[in-house]
Amino acid sequence: MNCFFYGLLLILLSAPAALAQRGYRIEMNTVGITFPGKPIDTTYLYPTNRVRIFQVKSNLGIYNLLITKALKTRPPRQGKMLSDYYDNLIAGSQKAGQRILVDKKDVNINGFPAKEYSLQQVIKGVASTSRNWVVVIENQTYTVKFIPLQGGLMAQGAGNTFFDSFVIKAKPVVVATAPMRQRSSPWGRILVALPVLMALIWWGVHRWSRSRNRKPETEESDA
């Protein structure tokens, strides 16, 4: 019986980490990121750029990775010109969907100067605030976006897990001066795993209760 409970405890402690690692991993030469499922991969060609979008929709939110390749010019790589380039992209994103800029700040993603910003929008009559990163890597612009479709810590934890999975493999060409981004708190991911944990606890208690209440079989006497 002790072995059973020790095994159950080990499962409970490892479940949040296992759930955080579960998903569909995309690995490229420049970046890697994990979606909660296989994303839809769509490419749009415009006169001045090409945009590739990976997207997954779930009950918690919408997960996006946008890769923009400029066809005629190259984005700046450092300094004020890069900061202004990010600001123009954010302003364009606001106008495109009539969104409201809630927050914007400089961040450092794996040594690359980037911007993190939040946009408030209305989806199906409900206000939602998206979290976004925009970063230039090897002459391409990468945008990581999560739009929660419900409130609460479970959606927040799902978004944090998505952003934490984003890794830049390329080497930075300049030293970023913005403070390094902090990894999100594990509590959101634990809350995402909570339904599984509760199911495991119920299963363990049910098995233990049945084993205690089971009547011993009576032996037949010799005739």
User: What whole-number percentage of the chain has pLDDT above 90?
Assistant: 56
The larger pLDDT score, comparing residue 93 to residue 19, is at 93
117 pLDDT higher than 60: yes
Best CA proximity match to 195, nearest among 62, 63, 60, 64 = 60
Interval 26-51 mean pLDDT: 96
Q: 112 - beta bridge partners? A: 109
Which of the residue ranges 22-31, 75-84, 123-132 would you say has the lowest mean pLDDT?
A: 123-132
Q: What is the mean pLDDT of the chain?
A: 81
162 pLDDT higher than 90: yes
Best CA proximity match to 62, nearest among 124, 18, 112, 17 = 124
Instruction: State residue 124's pLDDT score.
Output: 76
Please measure the distance between the N-terminal and C-terminal CA atoms of the chain and give it in whole angstroms.
Answer: 37
Inter-residue contact 41 to 54 (CB < 8 Å) = yes
Best CA proximity match to 101, nearest among 87, 117, 113, 114 = 117
Q: 65 - beta bridge partners? A: 54, 144
The larger pLDDT score, comparing residue 196 to residue 72, is at 72
35 pLDDT higher than 90: yes
Interval 23-29 mean pLDDT: 95
User: Rounded distance, CA 52 to CA 43, Å?
Assistant: 4
Structural domains of the chain in order of their starting residue, each with its CATH number: 25-182 (3.40.1000.10)
145 pLDDT higher than 90: yes
Instruction: State residue 95's pLDDT score.
Output: 85
Interval 98-110 mean pLDDT: 93
Which of the residue ranges 70-79, 139-148, 186-195 would you say has the lowest mean pLDDT?
A: 186-195
Q: What is the pTM of this model?
A: 0.72
Give tens-digit pLDDT for 205-219.
666 666 666 555 444
Give tens-digit pLDDT for 181-192.
555 555 555 555
